[in-house]
Every structure is written in C-alpha cells, then in structure tokens.
Amino acid sequence: MKVKGRTLISEPHITISYDVLEDILYSDWTGSQTNESVMDGCEKMLHYLKLHHCTKVLNDNTRVTGMWDDAARWGAESWFPRMHEAGCRLFAWVYSPDLYSKLSTDKTLSYGVRGIVIATFDSKDTALAWLRAMG
C-alpha cells in the first residue's frame, strides 16, 4: 500500500505523513525502538495530529523489530489520553511480524485506553479499510 498524502517528517525511527482528503495521519515506524525513540515519535505524532486537527491514525509497525515495552505504560497512561484530548478518535495499529514488537503493542493496549477506538491489524490494507469504514 502506497501512502497518499504529504510527508511531514522523516527520521530514522519514524516517518509521519498526512492525507488531508481522508483525514488520516500515517506513522511508519522503522527498526529497533527504544523507550526514547518511542516517546519521541509519539510526541511528534501528537504534534501533527493537533496541527492538522486529525481524528484518525494509521500506526504502522510492520518494519519494527524487537521489544519496546518500556514505553508501554507511558503510551497507555500519558500519550493516548493526550491524543484523545487532541481529537484522535480512531487508531488503526498494524502489528509488526516480529513477535517481541507485537507483544509490546499488546502490553500497551493491556493497560486500557479510553475515548479512542483502537483496533489491531496484520496488514496496512485492512487497517486502512477499517479507518475508511469507521469514519
């Protein structure tokens, strides 16, 4: 799936794009993530979500490797509530094929997130179809 829209930022650990026609913020994470890189990328996603008054996110972890669960509690308890406050309502999370990254995603979601409908997917195409169908 080719991401439509404009690239807002491209860094070694994350690329963020925005499709104004579909009102979707795309985040494409790459490589092994650390607590610091996860927090940095998430804060940048929050910044661009606010800037574009966006309600939908496609969070792609397809190219993420390894465990990053140190940031799981922070993501669930600090970042997601701020994403909700900023207007995020739908969050499609594409799993990494890497087992440890997938477990880190599941750990984040196990803490519970309120106000945002979050669904996990094994493919970007399915995630995008869900976002389109939901809103």
Instruction: Specify if 101 maps to a domain.
Output: yes
Q: How many domains does the chain have?
A: 1
In angstroms, the CA 52 to CA 123 distance is: 25
Residue 38 is assigned to a structural domain of this protein: yes
Give the pairing of strands 24-32 and 14-19: antiparallel
- pLDDT category of residue 9 using cuts at 50, 70 and 90: very high
Residues 25 and 48: beta-carbon distance below 8 Å: yes
Rounded Cα distance between 65 and 27, Å, is: 15
**pLDDT band at residue 69, thresholds of 50, 70 and 90?**
confident
Q: How many CB atoms lie within 10 A of CB 20?
A: 11
- Report yes or no on 8 lying in a domain: no
**Which pLDDT band, with edges at 50, 70 and 90, does 2 fall under?**
low
pTM comes to 0.93
| Structural domain range at position 40 | 33-121
Residue 10, domain member (yes or no): no
Can you tell me the distance from the alpha carbon of 3 to that of 57, in angstroms, rounded to the nearest whole number?
A: 12
User: Is 83 a domain residue?
Assistant: yes
Q: What is the pLDDT of residues 75-87, one digit of tens each?
A: 999 999 999 999 9
Written as one string, the DSSP assignment of 70-97 is GGHHHIIIIIHHHHHHHT--EEEEEPPS
- Whether 98 maps to a domain, the answer reads yes
117 found inside a domain: yes
Residue-wise pLDDT for 28-60, tens only, equals 999 999 999 999 999 999 999 999 999 999 999
